[in-house]
Amino acid sequence: MEEVLRLVVERYNYWIYITLMMIGLYALIAKNNLVKKIVGMNIFQTAVILFYVSIGVKKGATIPIIEHNYDMAHQAIRAADYVNPLPHVLMLTAIVVSVATLGVALAITIMVYHRYLTLEEDEILKQIRES
């Protein structure tokens, strides 16, 4: 039991991202409304982004900006003092990608709405079957 608790507490960032991911996946699979599905998709993407952001963190470290005091140039910079900026930078790109996906998805949803005048998937499928 203690083992499990430690696993949960020590790695809580992983548990959070997996929970978020599953919420998103559930919405993608189970929801009937197309916009809700898109929201689920976005939660799914955000979960991965949060996962990346969380892995850059170090205990007791600060933001990765190096101070340039004039007599500090000779001092070695200890990597352990700064959080890892690379995953965060990568996620800037991933956020752009997810925004683009969201935009395309919403634009296409508008097309779907104009064509079927509803966003409920079962009603759309019924219309398709009848036509």
Partner 1 sequence: MSQYYPALLIAIPLLAALFISASGWLRPALCFPLALTALGGSLLVSLGLLSNVIRGIPDVYLFGGWPPPWGIYYRVDHLSALVLAVVSIVGFVNLIAARPAVEKEFPEKAAPFYTLYVLFVTGLLGMVITGDAFNLYVLLEIAAITGYALIALGKGRAPLSSLHYIFMGTIGACFYLLGVGYLYIITGSLNMEDIARLLPPLYESKVVTVAFVILMVGIWLKMGFFPLHAWLPNAYTHAPSPVSSLVAPLMTKVMVYVMIRMVLTVFTVDYAFLVLKLNDAVVWLAVIAIVAGSLLALAEKDVKRMLTFIVVAEVGYMVGGFWLGNRAGFIGAVLHLVNDALMTLCLFLAVGNIVYAKGNSQWDSLPGLFRTMPWTMGALVVGALSIIGVPPTCGFFSKWYLLLGAIQGGHYGFLAALLFSSLVSVVLFFRIFEISYFEPFGASHGPDHGEDGPAGREAPLGMLVPLWMTALGLVLLGLYTGEIVDRVIRHAVPGMML
- Residue 72 vs 99, nearer CB to partner 1: 99
Structure tokens at 62: 């600060």
Q: How far apart are CB 129 and partner 1 at their closest, in Å?
A: 11
- Which residues contribute to the site for partner 1 (CB under 8 A)? 25, 28, 34, 37, 41, 44-45, 48, 51-52, 55, 87, 90, 93-94, 97, 100-101, 104-105, 107-109, 111-112, 115-116, 124, 128
Q: Measured between alpha carbons, how far is 118 from 29 in angstroms, rounded to an integer?
A: 19
Q: Measured between alpha carbons, how far is 5 from 19 in angstroms, rounded to an integer?
A: 16
Q: Measured between alpha carbons, how far is 95 from 77 in angstroms, rounded to an integer?
A: 30
Q: How far apart are CB 11 and partner 1 at their closest, in Å?
A: 12
